[in-house]
Structure 1
Amino acid sequence: MDKKDNYLFYSLIAIGIVLRFISPFEIPFTHDEFSALFRTYYDNFSDLIAKGVIETDVHPAGVQVFIHYYVMLFGRSELIVKLPFIFFGIGTLILVYIIGKKWFNPFTGLLAVAYCASIQYTIIFSQMARPYISGLFFALAMVYYWDKIVFKPEDKFFKHSALFVLFSAICAYNHHFSLLFAAIVGLTGLFFINKKFYVKYLISGAMIFVLYIPHLSIFFHQLNIGGVGNWLPKPTYNFFLEYVMYIFHFSYFALIPALFISLLSFINPLKEKFFRNKYWIIAVLWFLTPLTIGFLYSYYVNPVIQYSGLLFSFPFFFLVIFGNIKNYNFPIKFITLITIVGINIFTLVVNRNHYQVFYNSFFKDALVQNDKNYREFGNQEYTGIIESFEDITNHYLKTLNLDSTFTWYSNFPNKKAFLEFVRDSGKGNLSFSFLHGSAHTMVPGIMEYYPQVLERRDYDGGTSYFFAKNKLVNKSIRNDIIISNDFENTLNSGFGQALENLTDIVSYSGKQSFFMASEQEWGPTLEIALDSVIFGQYDCFDVSFRLYQNYIKQGLLVVQLKSEDTLIYWGASEVNEFPVTNNWSKVYHSIKFSDIDTKGLKNIKLSAFIWNKYQNEFFIDDFQVHIREGNPIIYGLHKKIKNELF
């Protein structure tokens, strides 16, 4: 290694270490890490495999077994558990450089290390005790020895073959996608190895299979389960572009230098035999094949593809785009690398807000805030409601000695029971902390009784609201009415209604309401073009009306989104899901816009109407559509964050 390249390499390693060890005692456990930890309390190995892997997991047993025995020896604190994986992350940087330098040249290796050291993709998985960065480390170690036995088989074949077999088997026990990558690597060798060593190479492959035999029953059991399709959506063709943008922090500021350098690599006049470079072809195959297989399986069979599972072949992406760059002199290398690392760190901290978003755990902070609120306001003036996981909650209540006076969201059998509890609580303040699922639909109902939003705390994967009946401070949380009909006028923009349906028999506000006869199946309809409305990607649409409950027992508020003639969303709320106060109820339906795939769609229109499905007679009033400001970082660790600068 050239001495100056040596300085650059060790500087990049130092940067990678610093970025992974910033505030190390503040790095929280994720949900998946908690899941693994809670499956380490078994008394024997048989129970660990049967109950800790087969019954409850979709990953191979390797990392779960490692964590089980590791925490027995070293403890369960966050940093202690994560430490081996942080070291795996640092080790991958070394292996990336070794492979990049050997296959191409030192500058290619340095460029790959610069990115792997400073992007969120590799940093965050180095900070998680899950089978991702470990799989990348062992995959690269496998490739290192694969290269030796395939292209220099005459040099210590048995030693290198034994290590290749070992690391391949570890990949198989680590993760199904690292198993897939190991299989791809092994098959690739059949096309390149010297025929004299063909049989020995096949024996090496057979030895890997023999080592994996004890795990076959687990593999086939998990294969029959099919994956994580019960919560992971089927990917769209936008997945590939989104993956690339995720790598570069969803930032053109970070993407442009990589595009420029890759352009230099592709037009390098010294590479006349560009497509004959076996290592470049191998890198292309190794990066694209797992990505393609994962996408096709997820699209046509069962969704399994995630960024985490693609990590094992990810460094070869940089070897593809930088593989044919010239080995420039030191000043050019230095300026290029410091520019890349500087931009990546800036976008990591400012655009992606990594250390704030990742380190601020919903599971922990929701309980800390509840404890603070309870101590400040007391049981007479404060109600806390939390949706979370009971075992994680109990962990933090115990380790942080927090007050456990709150109500579990899961205690309520339905929306009506929840809203009746909120209505009848009779206290001045209420907090509601919830996960990223459907609980957000309760917010408009809470605001019926606690109209003041004093604070909203946003997290990746969750949100907390603090409400008050009376306004205490000026806090601006957007909740705008974009269209409303109080039925005081004959016609309102966006609504279809007839003059004869207006009545002054009863009304919620003003003097009139809208009467629907039993023979009328469809009530007033709202239709509004979304391109005429200013709203954010993570905002929510709340459609509501007031219903006079003396007359109706069943009916539906229907909300749908259409792009021209294509229906992209349909949802409905039953009118009897909502509590009645003084004969009136507020019926509403909420849409979290970020959960709807609208990419590439044009002329999207929102329609809302009342479906008198059961032929009742009833009165309605105050038909409205609100835009409610949503959580901009609800998926902040994996998707673009609202208002990123570059």
Structure 2
Amino acid sequence: MLKKRVESSFLNSYYNKTKSVDFVLLFILLVAFVLRFYDAFNIPITHDEYSALNRIHFSTFNELIQKGIREDGHPAGVQVFTYYYVRLFGEQAFVLKLPYLVFGVLAVLVVYQLALLWFGKTSAVISATIYASLQYTVVNSQIARPYGFGILFCLLVAYYWTRYFYKNDTKWYYLVLLIIAAIISVYSHYFASLYVAIFLTLAVLLAKNRQQVWKLLMVGGFVILAFLPHLPITIYQIFDKGGIQGWIGPYKPTYIIVYFLIVLHQSWFLITVYLATFIFLFRYSKERLKLMLFSGGVFILSFLIGSVYSYYYMNVMHERVLYFAFPFILLSVSGFFRKLPVNKIWFLAIGLTAVTVFSLVIERKHYNLFYKNRYLMVQQKKQEWEIKLDGRNLIVLNYFKYPAQLEKKLFFEGHQYLINSSTLLPEVDSCLSSTHLQNLMFLNCDFPPPEIYPLITSYFPNVIQKEFTIGGEALLFSKSDSSKQRNQDKSEVIIYPKFPLQGNLSDWYFSKYNFIDFIVYCDTNNIISNQDFSLTIESEDKVYYKRSFVFMNRANKVNQGYASLRLIDLSFPEEAVFKVLVNKEITVDSIKISCRPGNPYLYAHVKKIPKNLDRFFLE
């Protein structure tokens, strides 16, 4: 009787502990759900999603392949899914994003289950908690693109491999589901394909017997056969169409540091808490070493192969391409965590959730900035400013191409111009020189030449109001010389130069978010070429930036040439100097140099957000 009571007590205790840990999982899933579904009906459609939607409106499947997929840079899987999904359910933002939001929550569950099978409950709870709360994972669950789609199936590849091969639970359907998950993964994104190849290759090294090796080779064979119909498209996309280096820029060996700073919210507070947690929980376990090396190897090889390709061929490395391998570096680190009692597991789950969510909401301002769609923001500001100015004396410059889905909604009437050609500055100059209107609205959702700002202020010298968000800005200018409205550039100097004009860049570097503008004034009759003057940044005979500029050809007026430095896009040492060189046959009257504030949220999705914006605005 006593023995039975002891056994009963043990079972009840075990049941309560198991039940408690299950409640921790429910808590983590609830956090994941809330963070992804918060205000879900107002999550905006991003530019990337609009791009995908623009490539699904075809009458036949063959047309979709030729025009909507072949000319893109991704495999066909997600685009085909979107094609049929939109036909069935429509393009409304919440409906479009719903599968990806659900996949994002399910991915947290699979991370938990993987860590539980590999390293135990403590590792499972902490891995899933961090994965549920980081902006990196939240935002990719809120965007209807291949990343939120492919990550779930990449994780399922690992889960079903673990069940069938590592845990020897040889139910036939685990093997079938492994093959299906792998095929869906390779059709979602090329880096997901790379992940599958790396995972299955490393899995062969962990095979327990020859039979497992043959089965893994069979899995790989089925995946290759399933992908063969797509091979001509892949060859065209990689070798004929070209890459995406134009907007990413050249690969830098320090990218891995940049990547982890993005993942960790650019927050030393968050990094310190995570590091302290790691130190507190650290315990080396030889039994876990194989899986830790296996998991870490998946991420490291994904990064190394992508880096070699980017360095020697074309740069494809940005934070989202490593998204498919990211959970595995998290799982690898969690292998060092020692076992904890349930009460401490709860404490860590709640504590890490609180810290990460604080960083997400307060430091990263995720629900303020990400939800502030640039296209809708400029439309709202336009409507507001039209009311403010009673719709009169207003000219509108738009620097972006509206997504097709917004053309009707964002249609502008009256004096409005869409500018996005290579002859941008002469077009704007011609437009502004002939207008009699007193106010100008500049709506920008792209990356215009920075010289457009000083060009506008040469006709409309005063900034009345401005609004910024990620990748977009709305600026209201006026010809009025009211002191209340006048734009005050804190640093401005007019020089009567001898060339080459040279100055210390540090004297003008108040913030990386600012611009430095150069306006060169010369006599009308001196315009002679398409490269009238140049601007360089140099240090110790090394050139960090060089660009040529032309003057506006204005009849019977003093001609002006414009050059601007967007400091956030430039890299140079503190001792660097700028040099202005003008064609020797041109007579320069004077040069105006000034510093102005830029958009502090321009790259807020990947860069640190300034806490005190007053420091960065010079008005």
TM-score, normalisation: structure 1: 0.87
Distance 1:38 1:404 in 2: 27
Query: Retained in 2: the 8 A contact 1:367–1:397?
Result: no
- 1:187 and 2:201 correspond: yes
Amino acid at match of 1:589: A
- 1:16 and 2:32 correspond: yes
Residue 404 of structure 1 and its aligned partner are, at CA, apart by 7.2
- 1:574 and 2:574 correspond: no
- Alignment partner for residue 180 of structure 2, among 143, 166, 173? 166
Which consecutive residues of structure 2, in runs of 5 or more, have no partner in the other structure?
1-16, 614-619
Per-residue deviation, residues 586-623 of structure 1 (Å, max 9, x unmatched): 2220111111134xx342222223232xxx252x2332
Q: Identify if the C-alpha distance between structure 1 residues 310 and 473 changes in structure 2 by more than 3 Å, giving closer, same or farther.
A: farther
Distance 1:91 1:71 in 2: 22
- Alignment partner for residue 537 of structure 1, among 500, 512, 518? 512
Listed as ranges, the matches of 1:460-479 within 5 Å are 460-471=470-481, 474=484, 479=489
Residue 544 of structure 1 and its aligned partner are, at CA, apart by 1.7
| 2:427 corresponds to | 417
- 1:368 and 2:383 correspond: no
- Alignment partner for residue 222 of structure 1, among 223, 237, 247? 237
Listed as ranges, the matches of 1:309-348 within 5 Å are 309-348=321-360
| 1:585 corresponds to | 559
Residue 381 of structure 1 and its aligned partner are, at CA, apart by 0.5
Q: Identify if the C-alpha distance between structure 1 residues 327 and 48 changes in structure 2 by more than 3 Å, giving closer, same or farther.
A: same
Query: Retained in 1: the 8 A contact 2:395–2:416?
Result: yes
Residue 40 of structure 1 and its aligned partner are, at CA, apart by 1.7
Any idea what SS the aligned residue of 2:601 has?
coil
Distance 1:473 1:50 in 2: 58
Distance 2:394 2:27 in 1: 53
Q: Identify if the C-alpha distance between structure 1 residues 155 and 550 changes in structure 2 by more than 3 Å, giving closer, same or farther.
A: closer
Query: Retained in 2: the 8 A contact 1:261–1:322?
Result: no
Distance 1:160 1:367 in 2: 51
Query: Retained in 2: the 8 A contact 1:546–1:584?
Result: yes
Q: Identify if the C-alpha distance between structure 1 residues 355 and 567 changes in structure 2 by more than 3 Å, giving closer, same or farther.
A: same
* Aligned residues between the structures: 594
Stretch of structure 1 that moved more, 432-441 or 442-451: 432-441
Any idea what SS the aligned residue of 1:535 has?
coil
Which consecutive residues of structure 1, in runs of 5 or more, have no partner in the other structure?
488-494, 498-522
Q: Identify if the C-alpha distance between structure 1 residues 473 and 464 changes in structure 2 by more than 3 Å, giving closer, same or farther.
A: farther
Query: Retained in 1: the 8 A contact 2:163–2:169?
Result: no
Per-residue deviation, residues 511-554 of structure 1 (Å, max 9, x unmatched): xxxxxxxxxxxx35122241x44411121111122212134434
Distance 2:424 2:52 in 1: 31
Any idea what SS the aligned residue of 2:38 has?
coil
Amino acid at match of 2:22: N
- Alignment partner for residue 128 of structure 2, among 113, 138, 149? 113
Amino acid at match of 2:286: K
Distance 1:357 1:473 in 2: 32
Any idea what SS the aligned residue of 1:467 has?
strand
Distance 1:120 1:643 in 2: 18
| 1:507 corresponds to | none
| 1:502 corresponds to | none
Residue 470 of structure 1 and its aligned partner are, at CA, apart by 0.8
Residue 53 of structure 1 and its aligned partner are, at CA, apart by 0.5
Stretch of structure 1 that moved more, 335-344 or 123-132: 335-344
Any idea what SS the aligned residue of 1:643 has?
coil
Identity percentage of aligned residues: 26
Query: Retained in 2: the 8 A contact 1:564–1:602?
Result: no
- Alignment partner for residue 210 of structure 1, among 217, 225, 241? 225
Distance 2:156 2:486 in 1: 53
| 2:593 corresponds to | 625
Query: Retained in 2: the 8 A contact 1:246–1:639?
Result: yes
Listed as ranges, the matches of 1:268-307 within 5 Å are 268=283, 271-273=284-286, 277-307=289-319
- 1:594 and 2:562 correspond: no
Amino acid at match of 2:29: I
- Alignment partner for residue 446 of structure 1, among 456, 469, 474? 456
Distance 1:602 1:626 in 2: 19
| 2:7 corresponds to | none
Q: Identify if the C-alpha distance between structure 1 residues 79 and 477 changes in structure 2 by more than 3 Å, giving closer, same or farther.
A: farther
Q: Identify if the C-alpha distance between structure 1 residues 303 and 424 changes in structure 2 by more than 3 Å, giving closer, same or farther.
A: same
Query: Retained in 2: the 8 A contact 1:548–1:584?
Result: yes
Query: Retained in 2: the 8 A contact 1:371–1:403?
Result: no
Listed as ranges, the matches of 1:481-520 within 5 Å are 481-485=491-495, 487=496, 497=498
Any idea what SS the aligned residue of 1:445 has?
helix
| 1:503 corresponds to | none
Distance 1:546 1:60 in 2: 52
Q: Identify if the C-alpha distance between structure 1 residues 298 and 312 changes in structure 2 by more than 3 Å, giving closer, same or farther.
A: same
- Alignment partner for residue 457 of structure 1, among 459, 467, 481? 467
Any idea what SS the aligned residue of 1:444 has?
helix
Residue 376 of structure 1 and its aligned partner are, at CA, apart by 4.6
Residue 150 of structure 1 and its aligned partner are, at CA, apart by 2.1
Any idea what SS the aligned residue of 1:2 has?
helix
Distance 1:644 1:87 in 2: 36
Distance 1:78 1:404 in 2: 30
| 2:84 corresponds to | 69
Query: Retained in 1: the 8 A contact 2:521–2:558?
Result: yes
